[in-house]
Each structure stands twice: as structure tokens, then as C-alpha cells.
Structure 1
Amino acid sequence: MELTIYLAGQIHDDWRNEIRKKAEKEKLPINFVSPQENHALSDDIGEKILGEQPSKVYRDDAASSINNFRTRVLLQKSDAVIAYFGESYKQWNTAMDAGAAIQAGKPLILVRPESLIHPLKELSNQADVTVETLDQALEVLTYLYE
């Protein structure tokens, strides 16, 4: 059984490659999808498709509509979602994607460090599983195949 897992979370560091490599090492039949991981392309996609915008507000709006379209399609096609909340970056998109997964009835694994227990308590309560590390999230997926 091959699964498609949507990896929701910030795109500023290498956490997705870490989980992909670990899943590959475990020989798990998982296809991972995600938001656009090329940060520059994510920011520029509105102008790339729609042309130059009159201000930064319109530039961001054009890019976000296309990025939201991408996220919605890939999240809807996924079997489950891992939403990763780290310590280093703002997590607005992660929270939005986790909420969309819950709304869509997608099984959700929430990954958050101990320091974020309080600010994420309601979201954690709605997730199917809450863990503190990417390794634990991968163990949950591995358990599907045991």
C-alpha cells in the first residue's frame, strides 16, 4: 500500500528532506508532497504567471492565491498530513495547513516541541496524533505497515 503524505510547515530549512531520507531508509512506500519548497519561486510565482504587479501587496496576493491553489490540490489528494512546528520560524502557514487538513477530514500528525505545547494545545487536541519529533512522526507512519 503506497501512501501520499502532505508535509505542511515552513520552507526555510531541510526538515522535509530529513523525513524523506528516513522513510527511504526504512523502505516505506510513501510519496511525499508539500508546498513549493523553492522559497524564491513561491514568492515570485504570481508575477511569473500574471505579470508584474503594481505593489508588494498585490505581488503577495497574486503569489498566495497560486500557492494556496497548489496546497489545496496536493493536500486534498494526500492520504494524511504531517504538520511540523519548529522553534525557528513563524508558523502561520503550518497552522493554516493543519486546520485545512482537519476541515477536510485528513488524518493529521502534529509535530511540535515541548516549548509549543501551550500555544498549540487546541490544534493538538484536534490532531489525530501529536508527537514531539520527526522521528516519532515517522514511527507512526511505520506502524501503518506493521
Structure 2
Amino acid sequence: MAREWRVYLSGEIHSDWREQIIAGTRERGLPVRFDSPVTDHEASDLCGVRILGDEDKKFWEDRKGAGVNAIRTQTLIREADIVIVRFGPKYKQWNAAFDAGYAAALGKAIVTLHDEEHNHALKEVDAAALATAAEPRQVVEILDYVIRG
């Protein structure tokens, strides 16, 4: 039986880059299992207060949500073989940068995915990555090469 690779898809949630990578690997028949954070922005932001109770201050609301989300994120990054980190063009994805740092600290193989305009801003993150892609198609090609040789 072929080894199943675990790939964690971190970062930007406002475009279909995850779906493109998943579809591309499925078209190639690659043995990959994908995990990701909760990509429903509202559900992710409010999970802490929905589960643990309301807060009077936004800081504590965010803190509860971040803690609950970190249980998922940290577990899935620890279990991943490869961590793909997407930085989108519109928003500063501080959580993606944190995920990249966490993955680097764990010695995970990291592939960053971002537009050329962010090369300078992400130079330290890219330096920790083993590859930096500009398009989801390139990520699929990297996975194909890594898995099949």
C-alpha cells in the first residue's frame, strides 16, 4: 500500500487556492490527505465564545477563539509531513506567519505560496521554507515530484 502523505494547508481563506491544490492532486492520483484550519471566518472567530461563553471585551473573545483554534492547528501541523502556507494579496495573515514559524520549529517541510509582491516582506518566512511557489499549480507539481520522484 502506498504511503499516504499528510499535508496541512495554512493561511489565506478568501480564495480557492486550497481547492485548486486538492483538485490537482486528486487528478494526478496522489496519495495525499489534506488538513486545514477552520476556513469559515465567523465560525473560527466565534468558536471560543460559542462554546465557552460570552465575553465583555473583544480581546478575551478573540483569546478564547485563538485558544480553541490552536488545539486543532497545533495538532494537525504536528501530524503533517508538509505544511503549505499561503499568504494572500489583501490581508495580513499573521496567523499564517505564526503557523510557518511553528512548523519550522518542529522541523516540518514548509512550502510557502504567495505573489511576487510579498517576496521582501516574507523573506524570513521564505528562508525557512524548502520551496516558495507563486501559484497553486506549482504546489501540485512539487507534491507530485516529492511523492513520485
Name the TM tier (shorter chain).
Answer: over 0.9
How far 1:89 moved relative to its partner? 1.9
Q: Does the 8 Å CA contact 1:10/1:91 hold for their aligned counterparts?
A: yes
Q: Which runs of 4 or more aligned residues in structure 1 lie more than 4 Å from their structure 2 counterparts after TM superposition?
A: none
- Structure 2 gaps of 5+ residues are none
Q: Deviations over 1:98-127 (max 9, x none)?
A: 111101100001112111111111111111
In the superposition, the TM-score normalised over structure 2's length comes to: 0.93
Aligned residue pairs total: 146
How far 1:14 moved relative to its partner? 2.1
Q: Which letter does structure 2 place at the counterpart of 1:29?
A: P
Do residues 24 (structure 1) and 22 (structure 2) align? no
SS of residue matched to 2:63: helix
Percent identical among aligned pairs is 38
Aligned to 1:107: 109
- 1:142 maps to which of 131, 141, 144: 144
RMSD, aligned α-carbons: 1.1
Q: Which letter does structure 1 place at the counterpart of 2:101?
A: G
SS of residue matched to 1:89: coil
CA gap 1:74/1:18 in 2 versus in 1, 3 angstroms: same
Q: Does the 8 Å CA contact 1:6/1:34 hold for their aligned counterparts?
A: yes
Q: Deviations over 1:47-91 (max 9, x none)?
A: 121111122111111001111121000110111100111212222
Q: Does the 8 Å CA contact 1:10/1:93 hold for their aligned counterparts?
A: no
- 1:50 maps to which of 45, 49, 52: 52
Q: Relative to structure 2, which stretch is displaced further, 125-134 or 10-19?
A: 10-19
